[in-house]
Amino acid sequence: MELAAFQRLIRDTYGERDRARGVEGTWMWFTEEVGELSRAIRRGDRDNQVEEFSDVLAWLVSVADQLGIDMVDAANRYADGCPKCHTRPCSC
């Protein structure tokens, strides 16, 4: 799935509820999911890691959407490699 399509999917699925919760509340859910991902990584449970990565991505996209950030634009910051030195691998 392309990133723009994923952002639209999350907006269509959860946008109304997430906007009602607000950026701060949605950010709190995002940070909780990051904690769950951390536990999954420590435990080495691959299936749970995939699940938690998807949750982290969904919540991050929701926060970005509420702030009017297009995640494709955000990702494009890395299109030329490192945003500072513009090389791959980074030579900073």
The token pair at 32 is 């909780």
**Structural domains in the chain plus CATH codes:** 3-76 (1.10.287.1080)
Over the chain, what is the mean pLDDT?
97
For 43-83, what is each residue's pLDDT tens digit? 999 999 999 999 999 999 999 999 999 999 999 999 999 99
What percentage of residues in the chain have a pLDDT greater than 70?
A: 100
Q: What is each CA distance from 39 to 9, 11, 27, 43, 64, in whole angstroms?
A: 27, 27, 19, 6, 24
**pTM (predicted TM-score):** 0.91
What percentage of residues in the chain have a pLDDT greater than 90?
A: 100
The pLDDT of residue 55 is 98
